[in-house]
Copies of this chain bind each other. A is one copy, B any other.
């Protein structure tokens, strides 16, 4: 038990990103703090020390584990603490404030679907919240405990971490939902296959979590969201198990998988999925292209996306974002354009992409063609720096919470016709709010994912604050962004999920009659409304327990 079961024999840190045995040195913390302080013109920030388990005071568990569930359920302090928070700025700030008032009562580590069904039966009988937990990387309060339930049980899927079957003819695998990114790829590698779904949370997020939150991964275009890689799902609901048929495509009624993709645990627990895989990359061609302004390059990026070239990578960073990731000097916007294939050289694809960039005034800084050097190029220079930071930064995110500055990201998508006007207005409102609330700060953005009909801009917000008000400042700035996106026509989340954090805006974005239909569907399989309360839907006011 104690959180080791699903995590390959070593325990993770509960107060930051990484395993317990991965030391972040005081020097690293100091360097990051200085870097942030310098960017924000803060003198000598107060850095709170890492919290210890002993310091924390938890409410007594409100509920008692039945004898039959005791072999895989626990109320141990470590387990309850580890499963209290995700990895948002808000979560990390609360962790550093030692605020664990709302820890779950029980943590379950089911070995199989029978265990899951048993826990759901128990929760259904008693009206306890049943909250699925994958890798714990939520940045939107996706598994916090609801206030109006008599008890809360976290269901940690870490033991469901195997690839059960590989079909290398169709290039698919049947994979258990609790598997984390690295184990998944490790088990696929001998077959020459890869899921190639690599969100920034990859090391500590699970297949089931990706599917339940409509995660976006490696591919800038084409296979952006996990949705398209799902061939079929198995879902355990309070009323039984749903198994969809493995099919490459079908026209038989509304797609049965799509109701669960993005359901954030509210409709049941995804336990297995047949996933569509890719051959391992053999050919690459990369270029780094700079533009004088973000909007200038955005035109090139749009044209590339609409041209049907399907670049795997088209990360486009504005001046500040590029500088922060070590991919530029802060004077230009930087496009990291990359093509890859398991089948054929992709030089013709890159050449056309570059041609489009040049038409839009872009300057090619580096370029590598197919073959071994292209792989190297994606690991050095601007591309390499970006890659290194992408992996390293989550490990350091707690530093900002610990030093009491505001630091968060948000992401959206909207159509190209509105791009400049929405982007300009979002930044204008945020800068104004920063001046009023935090006395300044930084807003920068990039594109990570692109569609022919619109980009998915990703914004980073950093602002000075202090420990007495950093949470409130965060919330005020975040609300400005959310209000703007919802009002101007964006989506409240492109790939971080709705969670509890964005529910008020989700409710404005999505038609109430459609949400009523979802509630009708949920009520059928979860009549006691125990599944991850607060996600997507609310328990009706007139609700009564069903016996």
Residues of A within 8 A of B (CB): 167, 169-172, 213-216, 224-225, 227, 231, 237, 239-256, 258-264, 267, 276, 279, 302, 306-310, 341-344, 348, 352, 413-417, 449, 451-456, 489-498, 502, 506, 509-511, 513-514, 516-525, 536
Q: How far is the CA of A32 from the CA of B109 in the complex (A)?
A: 67
How many copies of this chain does one complex carry?
2
Query: Which of B239, B261, B307 makes the CB contact (< 8 A) with A513?
Result: B239
Please name all residues of chain B whose beta carbon is closer than 8 Å to the beta carbon of A416 when the two chains form the complex.
169-170, 248
Task: Write the chain B residue with the least CB distance to A523.
Answer: B520
What's the minimum C-beta distance from A137 to chain B, rounded to whole angstroms?
A: 14
Interface contact B496-A251, CB-CB below 8 Å: yes
Q: List 11 additional A-B contacts (Cβ < 8 Å) besides A267-B517, A309-B344.
A: A247-B413, A250-B493, A252-B491, A252-B493, A254-B263, A254-B518, A254-B536, A307-B344, A344-B352, A513-B524, A520-B522
Interface contact B262-A255, CB-CB below 8 Å: yes
Query: Which of B247, B341, B496 makes the CB contact (< 8 A) with A491?
Result: B247
Please name all residues of chain B whose beta carbon is closer than 8 Å to the beta carbon of A231 when the two chains form the complex.
415, 453
Interface contact B256-A510, CB-CB below 8 Å: yes
Please name all residues of chain B whose beta carbon is closer than 8 Å to the beta carbon of A169 when the two chains form the complex.
302, 415-417
- Main secondary structure on A side of the interface with B: loop
Interface contact A254-B262, CB-CB below 8 Å: yes
Interface contact A492-B258, CB-CB below 8 Å: no
Please name all residues of chain B whose beta carbon is closer than 8 Å to the beta carbon of A227 when the two chains form the complex.
255
Please name all residues of chain B whose beta carbon is closer than 8 Å to the beta carbon of A521 when the two chains form the complex.
517-518, 520-521
Please name all residues of chain B whose beta carbon is closer than 8 Å to the beta carbon of A343 when the two chains form the complex.
306-309, 352
Task: Write the chain B residue with the least CB distance to A246.
Answer: B415
Query: Which of B167, B258, B342 makes the CB contact (< 8 A) with A255?
Result: B258
Interface contact A308-B307, CB-CB below 8 Å: no
Interface contact B453-A413, CB-CB below 8 Å: no
Query: Which of B237, B250, B453 makes the CB contact (< 8 A) with A170?
Result: B453
What's the minimum C-beta distance from A540 to chain B, rounded to whole angstroms?
A: 12
Interface contact B253-A498, CB-CB below 8 Å: yes
Q: How far is the CA of A417 from the CA of B249 in the complex (A)?
A: 15
Interface contact B523-A256, CB-CB below 8 Å: no
Q: How far is the CA of A309 from the CA of B491 in the complex (A)?
A: 31
Q: How far is the CA of A259 from the CA of B308 in the complex (A)?
A: 27
Interface contact B352-A495, CB-CB below 8 Å: no
Query: Which of B342, B414, B453, B517 makes the CB contact (< 8 A) with A276?
Result: B453
Interface contact B517-A245, CB-CB below 8 Å: no
